[in-house]
Amino acid sequence: MYQKIAVGLACILAALVMSGCRYGRPAVVPVSQHMAEPVATGSFIVEPRTFKPFKLLVTTGMSNPRLEGTFSATGARNDIEVTLLEESQFTNWQERRSFEAIYESGRVTNATLDVQLPTDPATYYVVFSNRFSIFSNKAVAADVHLSYDRVNLSAESGRRSRSGYRRR
């Protein structure tokens, strides 16, 4: 009789222990992290009849990529042209051929950028142009960055290991 009770208690104890430890694959939880990479920051000079390009890359794993920021120019008429181009269009723009821009500021003293980019991997250029000026340098102050969400997959499920500690 004691033997049947001991076996019954052992089975109950084993069932309780096993119910607290779930075996199998951990749940995959997507974790989104907001990121920002500098593109053009600080002050720089754009000489007459020239331009300054800044390269940015949209890569796989970037969700909701955006070009964001501000810029301002001083010198002569206090104006600058800012253009956002995909790589092949930048080549056309450099050679003064027909091109399609994602963003064109026109001649402005200052502006705020907030441009949604495609999620397909690509190379882009933000171009600060003073090609239109014959004699005057332009002093530009810029704070332009590429912002995006990076989605990581996490295997954290909150399960406890056999030792009773939470897995990390």
Tens digits of residue pLDDT in 3-24: 655 555 555 555 555 555 455 5
Mean pLDDT of 33-58: 97
**Higher local confidence (pLDDT), 7 or 106:** 106
Distance, CA of 88 to CA of 40 (rounded, Å):
20
Supply the mean pLDDT for the chain.
84
Distance, CA of 103 to CA of 107 (rounded, Å):
13
CB atoms near residue 71 (< 10 Å) = 21
Three-state DSSP state, 151: strand
Q: Whole-model pTM?
A: 0.74
